[in-house]
Amino acid sequence: MRIDIVTLFPEFFAGPLATSLLGRALGRGIAQVHCTNPRDFALDRHRTVDDIPYGGGAGMVMKPEPLFAAVESLPVCEPRAVVLLTPQGQPLRQALLRELSGFAQLVLVCGHYEGVDERVRTHLATHEISLGDFVLTGGEIPALALVDGVVRLLPGTVGNRESLASESFEEGLLEYPHYTRPADFRGWKVPEVLLSGHHAQIARWRREQQILRTRARRPDLLPPEPCPPNS
């Protein structure tokens, strides 16, 4: 997979992309990440990428010319998604990460200031994605989260593919509790069922814990209860 990040701050990504599981995956060529600065495509000697909004209002708006030119300068690998990172976008969920992992190329456009010219949204982006109902200083943190979430789903990134199947949100449920040695830590003991070696009972316990944890923490993930029959 090829991932292009259109960002005013390419240096933001240098450290995170070189570390941990993500860094190893990129080092093995499972994915390639390239950063492109829209300032390099500005039309004036000051490399201006923002301007005042038509109609007035606070803040500045990112101009369309540098963003279009930056994206259009990139090689095209099909199928390709051009993603605008914006608080107005579709919330980033695990199912969406799985969908994006099937593309050959992702182009991630990082907004700044008051946002981008609407023509970027309507004529350049194919997807709009948000991390949640909050506002950050720019699209770099959401872009990094998206890169990490997508790359870890690509074959070869995670050694044990089975571990991906039991994670939170993969089946619409939160993940079950995990324990490791020691079996007794400060009097807090590992549940006996996990020490039993009985795989069917362990699987049943884990499934029950997933449902209980989801009901307690994220009931919105559970299907609605069926209506009782009319009396």
| Cα gap 217→46, rounded to integer Å | 50
- Give the residue-averaged pLDDT of 181-202: 96
Q: Residue 69's domain spans which residues?
A: 2-151
Q: What is the CATH number of the domain that holds 203?
A: 1.10.1270.20
Q: Are residues 217 and 120 in the same domain?
A: no
Residue 209, pLDDT > 60, answer yes
Q: Which two tokens stand for residue 88?
A: 């107005």
pLDDT digits (tens, 9 = 90+) for 10-68: 999 999 999 999 999 999 999 999 999 999 999 999 999 999 999 999 899 999 999 99
- 83 plus 138 within the same structural domain: yes
pTM for the model stands at 0.88
d(CA 199, CA 190): 16
Write down the pLDDT at residue 160. Answer: 62
pLDDT in tens, 64-78: 999 999 999 999 999
Which amino acid would we find at residue 63?
A: K
Do residue 175 and residue 141 come from a single domain?
A: no
d(CA 76, CA 79): 9
Confidence label for 227 from pLDDT (cuts 50, 70 and 90): confident
Instruction: For residues 86 and 138, state if they share a domain.
Output: yes
**How many Å apart are CA 146 and CA 22, to the nearest integer?**
12
Contact 151, 13 (CB under 8 A): no
In the block, residue with structure tokens 């990460």? 97
- The answer to whether residues 6 and 109 touch, using CB atoms and an 8 Å cutoff, is yes
* Residues 170 and 200 grouped into a single domain: yes
Per-residue pLDDT at 219: 94
End residue of a domain, out of 151, 186, 206: 151
* 131, 31: one domain: yes
Same domain? For 123 and 39 the reply is yes
Q: Are residues 62 and 10 in the same domain?
A: yes
Which of residues 151, 180, 205 is at a domain's end?
151
Task: Identify the band that residue 164 occupies on the pLDDT scale cut at 50, 70 and 90.
Answer: low
At residue 229 the predicted structure's pLDDT band, cuts being 50, 70 and 90, is confident
| 105-162 residue pLDDT tens | 999 999 998 899 999 999 999 999 999 999 999 999 999 999 999 999 999 998 765 5
CB 71 within 8 A of CB 124: yes
Within this chain, do residues 203 and 94 fall inside the same structural domain, yes or no? no
Tell whether 99 and 199 lie within a shared domain: no
pLDDT of residue 228: 73
The CATH number covering residue 128 comes to 3.40.1280.10
Q: Which of 130, 114, 202, 133 is nearest to 166 (CA)?
A: 202
> Which letter does DSSP use for residue 167 in this model?
S
Q: What residues contact residue 144 under an 8 Å CB cut-off, 6+ apart?
A: 12, 13, 16
Position 166 scores a pLDDT of 54
Q: Is residue 21 part of a domain?
A: yes
From 151, 183, 204, give the residue that closes a domain.
151
Domain match, 176 and 137 both: no
Number of domains into which the chain is organized: 2
The C-alpha atoms of residue 46 and residue 35 are separated, in whole angstroms, by 21
Confidence of residue 224 (pLDDT cuts 50, 70, 90): confident
Candidates 44, 79, 52, 63; CA nearest to 6 is 63
